[in-house]
Amino acid sequence: MAPALTLQSLPLFPLGTVLFPGGLLPLRVFEVRYLDMINRCHRAGAPFGVVSLTQGQEVRQPGAGREAFATVGTLATISDFEQPRPGLMTLRAVGGQRFRIRNSDQLKHGLWVADVEQIPHDRPVTIPEDLQPTAAALSNLIHKLREKGGAGQELPIRDPLQLDDSGWVANRWCELLPLPVQLKQRLMELDNPLVRLELVGDVLARTGIAG
């Protein structure tokens, strides 16, 4: 087995959400600790790591407790970047490979960095017959969102669609469904994309979205 790929001193962006591989993440950046980091990543075409907060807030408050976050996150690569005024950046990032934190450290100005080990991509798994309703329901939802959004709004799902792949369909549902962050994190961490889709299918069946 080939050794896992590692990244040293990966800058981290702890957020109150979960980024899935292939997902889209819009961000407004104004904290000093992130402005330089995002600028450096943008100029170098380098990723940063998105991790889900388990303690603390996205924006640091005076007297707030120490931040804590999940040990599994997702690499994010900037796809669109604007700086409408000094001290503010707006961007869109795309979720890439997952990673596991080996060790982390907080720098003096508050930025977290970590040495991480990348987790292999989901293997392609064709959606079995009993879970086809999950893909059909997602296809219908995408069609409705595109009709409703029009040219002025962008769908939070990027092409190409992969409606025959278990991991892709599961990830998109995890992003769209109003699930607790802790549950989304557990689903993202699952190694088996088919199990992830089965659990999503259970949620869809209970809510009547697909069955």
Say whether pLDDT at 3 is over 60: no
**DSSP at 156:** S
| Residue 41: half-sphere exposure toward Cβ, Cα within 13 Å | 25
Higher-pLDDT residue of 94 and 67 is: 94
Please name the CATH architecture into which domain 129-207 falls: Orthogonal Bundle (1.10)
Q: Strand, helix or coil at 73?
A: strand
Q: Where are the domains of the chain?
A: 6-118, 129-207
109-116: average pLDDT: 94
Element spanning 40, H or E: helix 32-44
Residue 64 pLDDT level (bands cut at 50, 70, 90): low
The verdict on domain 6-118 having CATH code 2.30.130.40 is: yes
Three-state SS for 91?
strand
The whole-number pLDDT of residue 207 equals: 82
Measure the CA–CA gap between 211 and 208, rounded to whole angstroms: 7
Full-model pTM: 0.91
Query: Is the pLDDT assigned to residue 5 strictly greater than 90?
Result: no
